[in-house]
Chain A
Amino acid sequence: MRALPLVSVIFFALLSFLAFKEYISIVPLRRADRRVLFWAYLSIPIQYAFVADDFYGMFIVFIPVWVFFLLPFRMILTQQTEGFLTSVTAISWGLMIAVFAVSHGAMLMRLPATVNNAAGGRGLVLFMVILNQGNDVAQYVWGKLFGRHKILPLVSPKKTWEGFIGGVLTTTAAAAVLYSFLTPFSLGFALFAGLVIGVTGFIGDVTFSALKRDMKIKDTGSLIPGHGGILDRIDSFSLTAPLFFHIVRYFYY
């Protein structure tokens, strides 16, 4: 395998590891789940081995089929039925978000170059990351400037309709500027992709706000001062990546 894709696979695997670690450090689990969590961690190198091998069939079923089946079984072996449902659902959701979803970033990176897109998967990752992170900023700025009507006040009190709509429009416009450099898209599809990234970014953001609110914490960590932890950085990305990947894969590969 070429060296560059392997570096990117390792990078995303590390991202999954850090995100999953942060996640299990804030959700309520039982002491009996320690050994189960060890196996959950082991799913990370396996999932990314399928990515590195370009083994799409296993990449797409490993977590939702195999781990989904084996993890509860490993938990049953501890013979602690009290709190079983809470633990098994909490760990499964964490693996879907931190491992399955994030690994789509690595899989996106591996999409080959095409006739009208010499950048290949790298261009698509750059396109998605720029728009995804830009969307966060745009929603914040629009909300600060024109925010009046709260959108989900009990989940994320600072988010407004004005911020959401302004952000999505900005992201869609940015997609129309970037697409010809980074993607094989037509203008129409680029606008659609921008819209999807803007909306899913918002949904990812508020999903993690709900999680943090439930866990009664402000930030998930302190990786970068003022920016919280890894989960705070990749909250919107982790929900956007699988959707963007499958849309692109369906229409262009």
Chain B
Amino acid sequence: MAFGSATTLIRQVFYTILVRPILLVLLGFNVRGLEHLQARGPHLIAANHNSHLDALVLMSLFGFADIPKVKLVAARDYWCRTRALTWLSMNIVGIIPIDRKIERGSDPFGPVQKALDDGYTLVIFPEGSRGDPEKRQPLKNGIARIVELNPQVTVTPVFMHGLGKALPRGEGLLVPFVCEINVGEELAWQGDRRLFVASLEQSLEQLEHEIAPKPWT
């Protein structure tokens, strides 16, 4: 892992001194189960996806020392549109870019596998895209494929509500709403892809139920 390099330090400062204080005042977090959220060895954090803010909020929950151990799995077509943006995304935001369009013979999860091999904790949005704000979409199979290949890797589910109200897809204007976050207990590989996706789905549903979010009427 790239500890101690200049860009790593900038990344730590970016999240702890810039992003976190702004988000705390502008939105404010209500976090449950924060003790379940840890940066430990190769590990996956699976969250529902409503807003561009999701990734920044999740990173803000980690402490200064843990930030270098955590990366975000994100779509290359969005985060790497220009060279400058690519550099920012890769080094400061800290993304692992993956291709959403799979070509024959390519391995979209290659970079993810490498990051796990390097011992990173990866934040992943298994719904695949933000979709309609504050509506959970069926999970994609990708996360199960990753865990199948790395059965020692556990997955921590995270449910977030409010960010899809604050900055939903297709809106450029941020309107402050309190962000509710519920972190669940880690899930282990169960030997079957469909079984695993179902249990992750169930876990997210339970976390959502505990928060009892207030959707738009």
Contact = CB atoms under 8 A, between A and B. Distances in A.
Contacts of B162: 25
A25 B177 contact: yes
Most chain A Cβ neighbours within 10 Å, of B165, B168, B178: B178
B214 A25 contact: yes
Interface stretch (A131-139, A158-166, A214-222, A233-241): A214-222
Interface of A is mostly: helix
A170 to B, nearest CB: 33
Contact of A83 (B30, B178, B217): B217
Given A28-B217, A29-B216, A34 B30 contact: no
B217 A35 contact: no
Interface string A207-225: 0000000011100011100
Given A216-B212, A221-B30, A38 B217 contact: no
A38 B177 contact: no
Contacts of B175: 34-35, 37-38, 41
A35 B28 CA distance: 20
Interface residues of B, number: 19
A215 B212 CA distance: 11
Nearest to A36: B175
A21 B216 contact: no
A229 B171 CA distance: 28
A29 B217 CA distance: 6
Contacts of A216: 212
Nearest to B27: A21
Interface string B164-202: 010010010101111000000000000000000000000
A24 B25 CA distance: 15
Interface string A34-61: 1101100100000000000000000000
A31 interface: yes
Contact of B214 (A14, A26, A222): A26
Contacts of A28: 214, 217
Interface string B95-128: 0000000000000000000000000000000000
Contact of A24 (B28, B177, B217): B177
A34 B168 CA distance: 10
A16 to B, nearest CB: 12
A26 B178 CA distance: 9
Contacts of B216: 29-31
B173 A21 contact: no
B214 A221 contact: no
Contacts of B168: 31
Interface of A: 14, 17-18, 21-22, 24-31, 34-35, 37-38, 41, 83, 86, 215-217, 221-223, 229
12 contacts: A21-B27, A21-B177, A21-B178, A22-B28, A24-B177, A29-B217, A34-B171, A38-B175, A41-B175, A86-B217, A217-B212, A229-B178
